[in-house]
A and B are shown apart, each in its own frame.
Chain A
Amino acid sequence: MSLTIGQASQRILVADDDPVIRHLVTSIVKKEGYAVVVANDGRGA
């Protein structure tokens, strides 16, 4: 995953029922410069 100029304001939804995977994916996506919305499952999303 890489970030180009203009993408910084884009938000990514991370939805997973596993707290470990949710936190891991959220951290990676944030590190890439995206804003993140987190949900425990599809309904929460």
Chain B
Amino acid sequence: MPSSTGIDTNADQESVLLKRTSAPDTLSGAVDMAVLTSFEEAQGEGEPDLVVELIDLYLEDAPHRVAAIREALAKTDGQSLERAAHGLKGSSASLGAGQVAVLCEELELIAHDFSFQAVAVVVTRLEREFERVRQTFLAERQRRLG
């Protein structure tokens, strides 16, 4: 008599596990949200959401600075690179985008002895990290505006 027992569920369990462990989490850590939350103390009554305003100002300003950094690389212009990196570092650090700030600092340091290869590597990393920050800010903005 054939038995219908002994159904193998291992395959199903495995695929669930795989899905769980491979879930994309690319935005984690791009922005220290505690920094943004701390600004709520400075929120004025009846004023627009301060964090949203800061995010909007950053998203308006920072892409120009990232573009200026890429342009300075193309022109091997160390002075412009240093200036743009310095500017982006300040606002990024202020809003909790720590890794962008660190990469900007690295660019400031290597801008003097301009090596195209070395600068290009950091600029590429910066652009990738900035995109993560941008996505994080857009999501936070959306969340706050409901």
Q: Which residues of A contact B (CB under 8 A)?
A: 17-21, 23-24, 27-28, 30-31
Choose from A17, A20, A30 the contact partner of B95 (Cβ within 8 Å): A20
Bound CA span A32–B75, Å: 45
List 8 tightest A-B contacts by C-beta distance, closest first: A20-B91, A28-B42, A27-B42, A31-B42, A19-B57, A20-B57, A20-B58, A18-B91
> Taking the nearest CB of chain A, how far is it from the CB of B73, in angstroms?
22
Closest to B53 in A: A23
Of A18, A23, A28, A31, which is in contact with the most chain B CB atoms at under 10 Å from its CB? A18
Closest Cβ of chain A to B40, distance in Å, is 11
The answer for the CA separation of A35 and B57 in the assembled complex, in Å, is 22
Interface centre among A17, A20, A24, A30 (most CB of B within 10 A): A20
> A30 to chain B: which residues have CB within 8 Å?
44
Docked-complex contact B87 and A24, CB < 8 angstroms: no
Q: Beyond A28-B42, A30-B44, A31-B41, is A19–B94 a contact (Cβ under 8 Å)?
A: no
Per-position contact with A for B35-60: 1 when CB-CB < 8 Å, else 0?
00001011110010010011001101
**B17 CB to nearest A CB, Å:** 43
Does B29 belong to the interface (CB within 8 Å)? no
Partner of B61 from the list A18, A24, A27, A28 (CB cut-off 8 Å) is A18
Q: Which residues of A contact B53 (CB under 8 A)?
A: 23
Give chain A nearest CB distance to B85 CB in angstroms. Answer: 13
Pick the contact of A24: B42, B44, B60 (CB < 8 A). B42
A20 touches B41 (CB 8 A): no
Shortest Cβ distance from A31 into B: residue = B42
